[in-house]
Structure 1
């Protein structure tokens, strides 16, 4: 296996979009070109290296004759800490953690082994049932194999079971789980043994090998299991001298097991022990389960669908490599891995606690104001609402405090986020007075742009990121981050346009394109935000805001032209990313590959199911009702039963265009993004408190509680 530094890839130039049939056609074309260029630039300078590569150089590794995967369901870093034998392997290995999230709600051993078989996330276990035993072999075939194949179709995973066995000649398997991993598309298994045969493992009849070392016992016998795993790794390395032995946790042991990243080690270390990573995570010290398949195949996969026909279905993972500085202290490495588990375990539960704290504070302060109408009550209510806006910054800045290394990490995170939220609210209120909310939005815009350019270090492990346990984004902007950026960018653009409007409508429109275009570039550029769904929603919103700024109104033809411009710009980004090598593509290029192969149906169905899942609980319907009311307020202000809001709506020329742009972004995101109704709901959650705070600050007696994203576009 040869690992190499990858050269920069230069994409094509920006797309020229023609918008025909309008008055002043030249300027309309200019608007589309600028916005289209902003989006397509995200692919024209496609990243040459991942964020991990930008931080530390990628090391080269000599070609290895064999890859031996030793899979151990449930092997945690606590096991390594509690076992002298496993601890001794740390300084002899490149190390990391592996996320074992698969397609189903739980990653049982059968899910993990099927995922290695397919190279994409597979669904093996029946929901709401215990994990159960692994299927055995009957007449050389995995028992109930067709049931697992049918389960992939039922849940639209798109996982081609048997890919590893069909793609790799002379891949050997040892143990029950390995039989599943090396089975062919029809479930038949060859070159397999029920137990490890070291002589066969070291022979040329095994080009590569997969070993099931057995699941870790839940209680009794765990110490003996740790010793057995460590000894097996040593024996495998001795039996195949030129091999790369990859020790990985492949799953949890039980359906209700505590979810955490598991152990990943690779022996022998080349040029000293370092950190495992892959292009699918772009994070030193972290790989995912599908990377195991990609590493065994080493770019030689022949993707096959269940019917046996060759099909260019891309792998979900990428080859594993090592990077970063050497580590020489096993105990420090183990503590670092345990700290990493803390980092990913607490954000989501603490998010709920912080949100409820802020909500209770806002309701209490607002109730106090409505009862007393006192100046102090008004000021307190304004502060709590501003703190809600500051929260959307605190979720990111909190990661810079390294809270997971503090005592009581969960409590530390809770206190840190509330403290940062309050600090932003207090500083903005003290220095910007009635425009405090605008200051918070400007700060959010600047911070997210910088974070995106740096490779999103503040996203990783934050409350707004689906971490390795959930199996969501490992890099780039997630839906919550995009919602924050979209509100900040559009309102900032509207405010700047308001300042320039009296000077020149064209200058104001160009300012919108620049401010919005920067957000589109950072959000969409592979290696930065890498957010396919985000630019789909933000591009037409920016174009609409620019058009309304320039013309003041919009025709049906112009609206259609804006829609076409957005589609072309996003398509250009995806296609240019697709032109890169398969193992360097981001979500954009992978989607195009699936589309061209006719393999995109399962992806779209899964995203639709994710979007619809919000309506399985009452909260989803409440969010939808709130979003609909918010959009009605932005489009038909006369239907809002608050005169103060209606006066505010017409008080500045740029309020209406900004509100319409925000509604457009939210609506498109809701319809085309897998976040569904949650995306505009998050946008509302960011903007609405700042609007009410602004109205309180300027002395409105009846707080507006219907319109969300309408504030802060006005000038002083």
Structure 2
């Protein structure tokens, strides 16, 4: 029998390797198919770059200010409107952080954590006081922000007011065409201009400040009728203020008032502070290399444009912006509340079952475990309910997420019995694939997305979403392979490549998931699962080959994205550009710092301990003190490969992703409750059946 099987395996091996190579080629080709296509956005207005840009920056200017000021409200229907995220490199965005960010074109760090924002630095003898302190701070925190790039890249930019002096300062801190006060009569002699409208007072004097800002906008329009006038929030007024997207208006609109956007956010109604610099520079930047020669330098932002439908109702626009603030304010706090609710319910139900061993307690405990699995779907589907427009948005979100979680748990339990968890995983897989292809509409403002306040990902899949998709894809692939295994190991392995490959493509494709770190972790996990499905075991040589294949696939996608125009690149192409420019060191250090930051609190070490224990259980099941798990581990041939693939994905993601230990912890948080629910629901197999299953496993391995 063994002699007959060996020639068959030798013939199958080249076929499988050719198929594997074809799959990788198709993945790269599919990514290349959109590498040169513009990202999907709403209808774009005609894109024209103005001859002159006048930026009026007001720290702390919110949409509540617009609502409370007839003068600012009157500007809404005369402008392209949106919100601006002012998150900079540091934990807080004081005005000095915002002005330094405009100066650098990338996120800068100006304030001292824990200290009040304080006054802006003064100009003495034509130079910003303590300028070197800010330059050193960028090096200390590895921001990579080239302070002074705006002035070095574009001549003729005038500044008016203290904050504008920082924005238009050169790389050495000297200030050229700058006035301490606002003198709009001098705008005619400027190429572009930056005006500091001051800080919005917290209480007394805020109404007067609103009138002053509105008057500045009108005067700037009158002084330079051929210019764009950008009114934007710059930063928060105090260091520990709750950050929210601030006001962004652009006058006059080229084709009727629409919603502001940029290629850096790809979301109508939202821009970044770094987009302001990119707009002044018209998307082109220069920075000085160590030899003193100008070299092209990457910008974090992109040129501001307008998109979407025209708006003609100022009151409706303002309410939409205030609703949007609610959308971004509540998800993170509610996430904690929902997680604690589910945890308490699980512990209570499990304790009831351990004490009584009753059927009802067992069923209740299964339900709570399944509800946690449903939660990983509810965080996305809740976005479709538009909860932020409901009364009490925070409480509404809390109820919606728990309700959807319970519905998925109940329906799956009734229809699929002990395989309810598999149904939830399959639903998560399909929903996230569809969401990715549609441009991730369910991600923005969800609990698993970094909103504008955090200044994280504005489009595509974030780390938490990737963790959910990875678990769903690998388990679904393992289950389908199990069904095909009796028919053909080759077919089972190909099914793994198809199911896992779809997840890789959707997760990594620019314009869809656009997740650089995700495909780095998921690609080797899918290849490992396919290999183990086909061969049953893996050698060191094959393991190295899988790693190289994964690196090549990811590198191909990144390079193809780099070939696109600079303003259309995603995270892939931007990383390659920084790598080729020699500017990737600070990026890698910052990501490492973010990864290690979890260990500054006991929660990080607790997550690490849980992740290590979970990985040990997948590699050495005999070490697990639960007989039901040990029986389950050997009950089906595909259980071991699937668990090993999950551990591989989590381990690679933890080592190479800025989410660090949080990524495998999220994966475990999705997988473990569903596994426990399955073990609790499964009928204990007779010993004779276990022997038959073990014999079946041996036959497959042969």
**Range of TM-score over shorter length:** over 0.9
- 1:600 aligns with 584
Residue 41 of structure 1 is matched in structure 2 by: 30
Q: CA deviation at 1:300?
A: 2.8
Give the distance between the partners of 2:356 and 2:106, measured in 1 at CA: 60
Alpha-carbon spacing, 1:214–1:307, altered in 2? closer, same or farther (3 Å): farther
Q: Does 1:28 align with 2:17?
A: yes
Distance in 2 between residues matched to 1:157 and 1:288, nearest whole Å: 17
Does 2:299 align with 1:319?
Answer: no
Which residues of 2 match residues 188-267 of structure 1 at below 5 A? Answer: 188-201=174-187, 203=188, 205-267=189-251
Contact 2:285 2:296 in 1 (8 A): no
Shift of 1:312: 3.5
Cα distance change, pair 158–381 in 1 and its aligned pair in 2 (3 A): same
Q: 1:122 aligns with which of 105, 108, 117?
A: 108
1:628 counterpart (607, 612, 620): 612
1:305: Cα distance to partner? Answer: 5.4
- Structure 1 counterpart of 2:460, from 461, 476, 480: 476
**Matching residue of 2:346:** 362
Matched, 1:104 2:90: yes
Could you tell me which residue of structure 1 aligns to residue 450 of structure 2?
466
CA distance in 1, matches of 2:143, 2:166: 17
Q: TM-score, normalised by structure 1?
A: 0.93
State how 1:275-674 maps to structure 2 within 5 Å: 275-304=259-288, 308-674=292-658
Cα–Cα, structure 1 residues 308 and 161, in superposed 2: closer, same or farther, change >3 Å?
farther
> What's the offset of the Cα at 1:306?
8.0
Q: Which residue of 1 aligns with 2:695?
A: none
Q: Distance in 2 between matches of 1:333 and 1:609?
A: 40
What is the root-mean-square deviation of aligned Cα atoms in Å? Answer: 1.4
With over 3 angstroms needed to count, the CA separation of the structure-2 counterparts of 1:63 and 1:154, relative to structure 1, is closer
Question: What SS does structure 1 have at the residue aligned with 2:663?
Answer: helix
| In 1: Cα distance, 2:241 partner to 2:293 partner | 38
CA distance in 2, matches of 1:75, 1:115: 17
What are structure 2's unaligned runs of at least 5 residues?
1-9, 686-702
Deviation at 1:32, TM superposition (A): 3.4
Deviations along 1:613-670, one digit per CA (max 9) or x if unpaired, are 0000011111101101110110111111222211110110100110110000000000
Secondary structure of 1:173's counterpart equals: strand
Alpha-carbon offset, residue 199 of structure 1: 1.9
Distance 1:399 1:330, change over 3 A: same
Deviation at 1:700, TM superposition (A): 5.2
Residue 711 of structure 1: aligned partner: none
> Is the contact between residue 36 and residue 564 of structure 2 (CA under 8 Å) also seen in structure 1?
no
Deviation at 1:549, TM superposition (A): 0.6
* Candidates 39, 45, 70, aligned match of 1:50: 39
Structure 1 residue 35 displacement after superposition:
3.4
CA distances 1:102-150 after superposition (whole Å, capped 9, x unpaired): 0000000000000000000000001111101000111101111111000
Q: How far apart are 1:63 and its partner, in Å?
A: 4.3
- Post-superposition shift, 1:515? 0.3
The aligned counterpart of 2:143 is 157
Query: Where in structure 1 are there 5+ consecutive unaligned residues?
Result: 1-20, 702-716
- TM-score where L is the length of structure 2: 0.95
Matched, 1:94 2:83: no
- Greater mean alpha carbon deviation, residues 294-303 or residues 132-141: 294-303
Cα gap change, 1:321/1:137 in structure 2, threshold over 3 Å: closer, same or farther?
same
Deviation at 1:39, TM superposition (A): 4.8
Contact between 1:171 and 1:207, CA under 8 Å: does it hold in 2?
A: yes
Contact map agreement 1:39 1:539 (CA 8 A) in 2: no
* Deviating 4+ runs (over 6 angstroms): none
Aligned counterparts of 2:424 and 2:293: Cα–Cα separation in 1 = 55
Give the deviation of 1:283 after TM superposition. Answer: 0.4
1:393-421 Cα offsets, whole Å, 9 max, x none, are 00000000000000000000000000000
8 Å CA contact retained: 1:22, 1:558: no
Alignment-derived partner of residue 182 in structure 1: 168
Q: Deviations over 1:580-602 (max 9, x none)?
A: 11111000000001111111000
SS of residue paired to 2:199: coil
CA contact (8 A) 1:37 1:569 kept: no
Shift of 1:61: 3.9
User: What is the CA–CA distance in structure 2 between the aligned matches of 1:47 and 1:410, rounded to whole Å?
Assistant: 40
Q: Which has the higher helix share?
A: 2
Please name the residue that 1:17 is paired with.
Answer: none
**Per-residue deviation, 1:310:** 3.1
Kept in 2: contact 1:94–1:322 (CA 8 A)? yes
Residue aligning to 1:141? 127
Determine helix, strand or coil for the equivalent of 2:660.
Answer: coil
Output the CA distance in 2 between the equivalents of 1:252 and 1:48. 37
Q: Is the 8 A contact 1:160 1:305 kept in 2?
A: no
Tell me: CA distance 1:461–1:306, structure 2 relative to 1, closer, same or farther (3 Å): farther
Q: For residues 307 and 470 of structure 1, what CA distance do their matches in structure 2 show?
A: 36
Q: Which piece of structure 1 moves more, 191-200 or 587-596?
A: 191-200
- Please give the alpha-carbon distance, in whole angstroms, between the structure 1 residues aligned to 2:289 and 2:387: 45
Q: Aligned-pair distance for 1:308?
A: 4.4
Whole-angstrom CA distance in 2 between matches of 1:699 and 1:357: 29
Give, in angstroms, the shift of residue 40 of structure 1: 5.2
Contact 1:493 1:516 in 2 (8 A): yes
The counterpart of 2:46, out of the listed 60, 68, 71, is 60
Summarize the Cα distance change of 1:61–1:28 in structure 2 as closer, same or farther, 3 Å threshold: closer
CA contact (8 A) 1:42 1:522 kept: no
Q: 1:306 to 1:231 in 2, by over 3 A?
A: farther
